[in-house]
Each structure stands twice: as C-alpha cells, then as structure tokens.
C-alpha cells in the first residue's frame, strides 16, 4: 500500500472539498480522490456546468474555512425574470416584484417575508447532526430544542401557521396567498426543482422553505450567487484544501472501500492501487457508496433493502445552447448575463409537466430555469421534468425531442431564440448518473421529501453521516440536509468525524 493518510475523501464535489478542507485545517493528512478530470462535482467543468446557478455556501462554512466572503457573495441579490402566460416578465429580487399589479406585489412581498422568517427558524437544523431515532445524544436533542425555540420565537400565530403549512403542498398555499401566475410559478419552481414532486405533492412547502433557508446567507430568502460563478467557487475550495496541506487527485476513480474487521481501512482505485486510511468520507451518492463501493457483504439485509428502495430517480435535464447573438426578451430589452430566467407561467404548467414525467414520458412543455453566460454566449437551461427512466430510453431522438420542446417554451420569453442557436448539448439524468456517479442522476443524490429528511436522510438507519462500518461517513448531498450548493453536508460530516476522533 502507498503512504497512509489520516483521511480519504471520495469525490471532489463541493461537499467533498468542504469536508476535506475542514479536516485538513484540523491538521489531518487528507487525500481527495476524484473520478473526473476536474474537481467541483456537479458544479461541472469548464466544458459543461451542470449547476449553472450555484447557490452560495453557508456563511458559517465560509467563516470556518476563512474564505473570501466578498468573492462568495456577490453584492447584489440575483435578479429573476419570471415569465407569465402573456409572455412578459415579472422582475423579482427577493420579496420585491415588479411587472404585476400592486395588490399581487404586496401579497407576494408579505408572503415572502413570512416564509423567510419561518425558513430561518427551520434553518437552525441545517448545520446540525439530526438526532438519532433510537437514542439521541444530548447535543443533538439540544439542536432540535434550539429549532423549536426559534419557532416559538416566531410568536404564537406564526408558529401555528408554520405547523399548519409545513407538510402541505405549495399549490394550496400559493393559490391562497397570491393566486396562480408567474410569481406562484417561480416559488413553485423553487419548491420542486430537482425533485420528483409537482406543486400539488405534499411536502413541497417544506422544500420551498429548505431552499429559502439554505440559500439565503443574509436571511429572508434573498438569493445570492458567488461572484465569478461556479469556477470561482471550485477554485476557492480547492485552494483552501491545498493551502491546509490536503492533496486532490483527479482522474482517480475509487473502485472499492477497504474494510479490515469492522472498520474502514482505505480505498482501492480502479487502477488497482490501494491507499490506507482509517477514515473514509464519501461524497458519492449513498447508493453508490454503500452498494457499489462498500459492498452489501458489510451490511445487514434490512439496511441494504432500505438503501435499494430509497427514492433517487432524477427528474431534471440540462441543456446548453450556444447562441450567435444576445437573446432578446419579449417586451423589449436583452437578457443580461447572470440574470435568472424562469419560464413556468403558472403552477398548473409545472404540475402538467410533472404528470407526464411521473408516467415516464417527456412533457410537451417542460418548466424551465435558465441563465445566459454572455462571455461564452451560452444559454444554460435546467428542464423539468425529464424522467431518469424515460419510456424508450434516452435515445438521440428523445434528446432531440426534449431540445425542441425546450426551445419552443423558451420562445415564449425569448422570441426567435431558436434561430440563433449554433450548437447544443443535452445532459439527461441518465448521463448525470454515469458522468457524476450520482445514483439516478438526482440533483440531491436522493429525493428531498418528508420521509427522507433529517433523521431519515438518506434513509432510516443511515442518518447522522456515520455508516455501519466504523470510520466510514457520508459527506455528500444524499446526507442531511440535502443538495444544492451550500456545503452543509460536507461541513456536518467532517465535524461528526472530528467529534468521533477517528484517526
Ligand atoms: C441538472 C442539474 C442542475 C443543477 N443546477 C443547480 C444549480 O443551478 N444550483 C445549485 O445550487 N445546484 C444545482 N444542482 C444541484 C447541485 O449540483 C448538487 O446538489 C450538488 O452538486 C451536490 O454536491 P455534492 O458535492 O454533494 O456532490 P456532487 O456535486 O455530485 O459531487 C460528487 C463527486 O463525487 C465524485 N465521485 C463519485 N463517485 C466516485 C468514485 N467512485 N471515485 C471518485 N470520485 C467519485 C463525482 O465524480 C463528483 O465529482 C443541479 C443538479 C443537477 C443534476
């Protein structure tokens, strides 16, 4: 075996990098092994950014890693253009909406503020290890108690309101509060994007609150992006690992987690090289980590069954369109680089797209999130819903069909855009699965829904980052609190390992 490391991190996704940086900064000799030729995981590489609109890292993490906060949090919140059925944009920045009537704008602002407060209360759990279902440690129960206290501090009326809506669906809440339209479509996109749920699915208020809590470092749901986008974030995290003495090896796929007795003992690469370490953190998805890299022989039957049956079929496809010219907005003006475009004119359009996908078909009119990169002259689109298990498979014909329907929906917002396309690429959930080792090609490495959250994430018996083999931890989006770019899972997993004192 080659020299021993204190810790090996499988995967250089942003969570793997956060975990590695945390451990290295505590003096551990850390090696990160990444299968792809670039670090960053689904933040992608210069040729294809899977996550073109990365949310920002949690400020607590940026502080712990002493990252440059001015780089991480662009001064301005992200401006969103949400297109209505009339093809005209409503402009939204946090709770401020223009392009709708005054009553709707006021109702939206009030709802946004209220949800922002509630999200902040629930957000107390994001950087905590959820308590165990059987026996919880005092520190874990204290975290729950802190969240309960924050909820109580909302006041009786608002706490009751939160308890009333939290497990319900976005459809009912948004219809009641602001009516269906481009603002409801935007919030319903935030509630459902990346998951296999439509706005009518129970639990979508919780996923909306999750997004508002995770990605609003300054509170109240204002979304910010790292200055410099995905590249800057990947560089900052990689530099942080290296500056603390950690090593990142790309093009180094791990084939197997090695076990000695009941303990993790290191990894074997597909090249056959074995590297020893008593501590292994995996940024790969839970199914890949446990069923492929570890192996079912180290797990009991019930644990394996739960892992096999956890919901993790991705529903989002990514498309890149190279454009000959800057896209023009319906109603006048050009789409600015870095603005977020949402084409989901009503919640009904999202639900209808979901209906097709849940039976394995492509929707005629997918719901879209897009961003234009002016320097690369590229429009990057996330299209939902595009089922991993598409009937007939992800053939070239199916991809061409999806591409055509995406361009047709985009034309509502950006008339004539199809005629300016000079090249395109489609990445299906099946491609994401093969390319990034995320089972099902799932945005969160596993569905973010009520029965796969907190002490049930990724599934009952596998929560709290620690796996049944001592010294093995999950540190990616499949673990609590889930995916998107936040770094929370990597941060929490590293802290759990450090607390356990494995080395
Ligand atoms: C289509 C799509 C669009 C998205 N858009 C956005 C967005 O705009 N904004 C946003 O915030 N989030 C977005 N996301 C979600 C976000 O990208 C993920 O939630 C996030 O990247 C998860 O981070 P991670 O570090 O946990 O895992 P990942 O980013 O998946 O990284 C895991 C890493 O582990 C590596 N790996 C796996 N197996 C092995 C192995 N055996 N050996 C070595 N390495 C291995 C992989 O190659 C990968 O680099 C999107 C996701 C998808 C699918």
Q: What is the pLDDT of residue 219?
A: 52
Q: Identify the band that residue 455 occupies on the pLDDT scale cut at 50, 70 and 90.
A: confident
- Centre of ligand 1 to C-alpha 230, Å, is 12
Answer yes or no: is pLDDT of 464 > 70: yes
Report the nearest-CA residue for atom 20 of ligand 1. 484
Give the integer Cα–Cα distance in Å for 94 and 216: 10
Give the integer Cα–Cα distance in Å for 74 and 60: 16
Q: What is the pLDDT of residues 327-349, one digit of tens each?
A: 999 989 999 998 999 999 999 99
3-state secondary structure of 410: helix
Average pLDDT over residues 65-79: 78
Q: What is the pLDDT of residue 125?
A: 86
Which structural domains are found in the chain, ordered by start?
A: 7-71+227-311+440-500 (3.50.50.60), 106-214 (no CATH), 316-436 (no CATH)
Mean predicted lDDT score pLDDT of the chain: 92
Q: Which residues of 189-218 are buried (b: 16+ CB within 10 A; e: fewer)?
A: bbbbbbbbbbbbbebbbbbbbbbbbbbbbe
Q: Spell out the residues 6+ positions from residue 145 whose beta carbon is closer than 8 angstroms to its own.
A: none
Structure tokens at 457: 């994430």
Check pocket membership of 477 for ligand 1, CB cut-off 6 A. yes
Three-class HEC string of 453-467: CHHHCCCCCCCCCEC
Residue 133 CA to its chain's centroid (Å): 25
Average pLDDT over residues 197-217: 88
Q: What is the pLDDT of residue 131?
A: 80
Average pLDDT over residues 83-112: 93
Q: Identify the band that residue 1 occupies on the pLDDT scale cut at 50, 70 and 90.
A: low
Q: Identify the band that residue 268 occupies on the pLDDT scale cut at 50, 70 and 90.
A: very high
Average pLDDT over residues 101-116: 95
DSSP state of 288: I
Q: Identify the band that residue 70 occupies on the pLDDT scale cut at 50, 70 and 90.
A: confident
Region of 356 please: left (phi>0), alpha (psi -120 to 50) or beta: alpha
Beta-sheet pairing, 263-269 with 378-384: unpaired
Report the nearest-CA residue for atom 48 of ligand 1. 41
Q: What is the pLDDT of residues 222-233, one digit of tens each?
A: 566 777 788 889
Q: What is the pLDDT of residue 45?
A: 84
- Centre of ligand 1 to C-alpha 41, Å, is 4
Q: Spell out the residues 6+ positions from residue 269 whose beta carbon is closer than 8 angstroms to its own.
A: 33, 252, 253, 254, 255, 275
Answer yes or no: is pLDDT of 3 > 70: no
- Cβ atoms within 10 A of the Cβ of 311, count? 17
Give the integer Cα–Cα distance in Å for 291 and 444: 18
- Centre of ligand 1 to C-alpha 248, Å, is 17
Region of 269 please: left (phi>0), alpha (psi -120 to 50) or beta: beta
Residue 23 CA to its chain's centroid (Å): 23
- Cβ atoms within 10 A of the Cβ of 312, count? 27
Q: Identify the band that residue 205 occupies on the pLDDT scale cut at 50, 70 and 90.
A: very high
How many CA atoms are closer than 13 Å to the CA of 366, on its beta-carbon side? 29
- Bridge partner residues of 154 (DSSP): none
Measure Cα distances from 327 to 35, 335, 337, 365, 379 in Å: 36, 6, 10, 20, 9
Structure tokens at 326: 């800057």
Check pocket membership of 187 for ligand 1, CB cut-off 6 A. no
Give the integer Cα–Cα distance in Å for 208 and 190: 6
**Least confident segment among 82-96, 278-292, 403-417:** 82-96
Q: What is the pLDDT of residue 215?
A: 65
* Nearest partner of 502 among 6, 5, 1, judged by Cα: 6
Q: What is the pLDDT of residue 434?
A: 93
Atom in ligand 1 nearest the alpha carbon of residue 483 = 19
Q: What is the pLDDT of residues 133-153, one digit of tens each?
A: 776 677 777 877 888 888 888
Most ligand 1 atoms within 8 A of CB, residue of 21, 282, 342, 484 to mutate:
484
- Bridge partner residues of 319 (DSSP): 381, 426
Atom in ligand 1 nearest the alpha carbon of residue 255 = 41
Q: Which residues of 248-280 are buried (b: 16+ CB within 10 A; e: fewer)?
A: bebebbbeebbbeeeebbbbbbeeeeebebbbb
Give the integer Cα–Cα distance in Å for 108 and 94: 10
DSSP 258-273: EEETTEEEEEEETTS-
- Cβ atoms within 10 A of the Cβ of 148, count? 13
Report the nearest-CA residue for atom 7 of ligand 1. 51
- Centre of ligand 1 to C-alpha 9, Å, is 14
Could you tell me if 279 and 497 are in contact, meaning their C-beta atoms sit under 8 angstroms apart? Answer: yes
Structure tokens at 376: 């690369």
Q: Specify the higher pLDDT residue, 155 or 42.
A: 42
């Amino acid at each position: 075996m080659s020299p021993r490391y204190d810790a090996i991190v499988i995967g250089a996704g942003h969570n793997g990098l956060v975990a590695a940086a945390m451990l290295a900064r505590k003096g551990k000799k850390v090696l990160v092994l990444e299968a792809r030729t670039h670090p960053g995981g689904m933040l992608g590489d210069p040729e294809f950014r899977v996550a073109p609109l990365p949310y920002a890292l949690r400020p607590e993490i940026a502080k712990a890693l002493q990252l440059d906060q001015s780089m991480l949090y662009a001064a301005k919140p992200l401006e969103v253009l949400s297109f209505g059925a009339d093809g005209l944009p409503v402009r939204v920045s946090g709770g401020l909406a223009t392009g709708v009537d005054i009553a709707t704008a006021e109702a939206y602002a009030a709802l946004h503020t209220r949800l922002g407060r509630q999200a902040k209360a629930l957000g107390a759990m994001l950087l905590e290890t959820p308590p165990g279902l059987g026996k919880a440690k005092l520190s874990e129960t204290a975290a729950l108690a802190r969240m309960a206290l924050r909820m109580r501090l909302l006041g009786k009326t608002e706490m009751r309101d939160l308890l009333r809506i939290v497990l319900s669906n976005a459809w009912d809440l948004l219809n009641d509060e602001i009516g269906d339209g481009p603002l409801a479509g935007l919030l319903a996109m935030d509630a459902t994007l990346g998951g296999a749920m439509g706005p009518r699915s129970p639990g979508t208020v919780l996923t909306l609150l999750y997004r508002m809590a995770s990605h609003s470092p300054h509170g109240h749901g204002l979304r910010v992006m790292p200055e410099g986008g995905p590249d800057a974030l990947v560089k900052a995290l990689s530099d942080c690992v290296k500056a603390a003495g950690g090593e990142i090896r790309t093009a180094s796929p791990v084939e197997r987690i090695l076990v000695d007795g009941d303990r993790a003992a290191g990894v074997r690469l597909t090249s056959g090289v074995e590297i020893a370490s008593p501590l292994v953190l995996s940024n790969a998805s839970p199914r890949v980590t446990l069923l492929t890299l570890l192996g079912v022989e180290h797990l009991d039957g019930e644990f394996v069954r739960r892992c096999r049956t956890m919901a993790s079929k991705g529903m989002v496809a990514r498309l890149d369109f190279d454009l000959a010219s800057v896209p023009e907005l319906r109603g006048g003006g050009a789409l600015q680089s870095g603005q977020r475009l949402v084409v989901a004119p009503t919640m009904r359009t999202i639900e209808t797209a979901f209906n097709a996908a849940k039976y394995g078909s492509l929707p005629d009119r997918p719901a879209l999130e897009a961003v234009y990169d002016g320097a690369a002259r590229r429009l990057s689109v996330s299209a939902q819903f595009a089922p991993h298990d598409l009937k007939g498979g992800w053939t070239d014909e199916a991809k061409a069909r999806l591409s055509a329907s995406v361009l047709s929906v985009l034309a509502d917002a950006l008339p004539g855009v199809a005629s300016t396309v000079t090249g395109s690429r489609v990445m299906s959930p099946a491609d994401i699965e093969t390319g990034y080792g995320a089972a099902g090609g799932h945005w969160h490495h596993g569905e973010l829904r009520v029965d796969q959250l907190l002490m049930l994430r990724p599934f009952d018996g596998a929560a709290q980052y620690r796996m049944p083999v001592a010294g093995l931890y999950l540190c990616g989006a499949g673990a609590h609190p889930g995916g998107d770019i936040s770094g929370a899972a990597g941060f929490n997993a590293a802290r759990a390992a450090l607390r356990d004192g494995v080395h």
